[in-house]
Amino acid sequence: MNSIIKHIIHLIGLILIQILVIDQISFGSLNTYISPIIIGTGIIILPAGWSSNRLLLIAFFVGILLDSFHNTLGINTSALLLLAFLRPLILKIVSPREGFESFVEPTVLNLKIGKYSIYASILFLCYHLTYFFLESLNSSTVLIILLKTVLSTIVALFLSLLYQYLTIKKQ
């Protein structure tokens, strides 16, 4: 129960940070190419034992909420669903041979920075690729979408590390 409340607070906090801080940051002339979305962090750090169905439902509601703020109904949700769907598969890559205990949260503190970076960057890459692809369905060349995806993923990964170092205590 305790961990459910903790994660709800994490998700709400991440949405507020996204819309009130990160969306307001200006990267100067690179602004068109860098628009990181860090809400994926909230799904990435959910306990390893939680079932995929639960992850998908959480991703759906969080996505709709963020979409309402961004006026992009469906786009964030779709990308976040993909992230939640792929998470168990990617987690297998970085987990030890016998697998994680079900309560372990795959945060940067539990996984160490190298493994976490691999795990999170693959998921953020999928997220941003889906997001920018859906956002510019009929215009924009593939090259621009890829550039946006790579740059935004790097910044999002950095911000998600920062977020975790600031908010999560070492267990």
How is residue 168 written in tokens? Answer: 């999560």
| Minimum distance, C-beta of residue 6 to other proteins, in the bound complex (Å) | 22
One-letter amino acid at 97 equals R
Which CB, 85 or 118, lies closer to other proteins?
Answer: 85
Alpha helices in 21-97 (DSSP H): 40-44, 52-70, 75-94
How is residue 161 written in tokens? Answer: 């590390």
One-letter amino acid at 111 equals L
Which CB, 16 or 113, lies closer to other proteins?
Answer: 16
| Minimum distance, C-beta of residue 146 to other proteins, in the bound complex (Å) | 15
| Minimum distance, C-beta of residue 168 to other proteins, in the bound complex (Å) | 25
**Residue 98 in 3-state DSSP?**
coil
Distance of CA 134 to the CA centre of its chain: 17
Q: Residue 164: CA atoms inside 13 Å, Cβ hemisphere, count?
A: 28
| Minimum distance, C-beta of residue 17 to other proteins, in the bound complex (Å) | 12
Which CB, 3 or 140, lies closer to other proteins?
Answer: 140
Binding residues for other proteins, rule: CB under 8 A, are 16, 19-20, 23-24, 26, 31-32, 35, 51-53, 56-57, 60, 63-64, 67-75, 77-78, 81-82, 85, 132, 134-136, 138-140
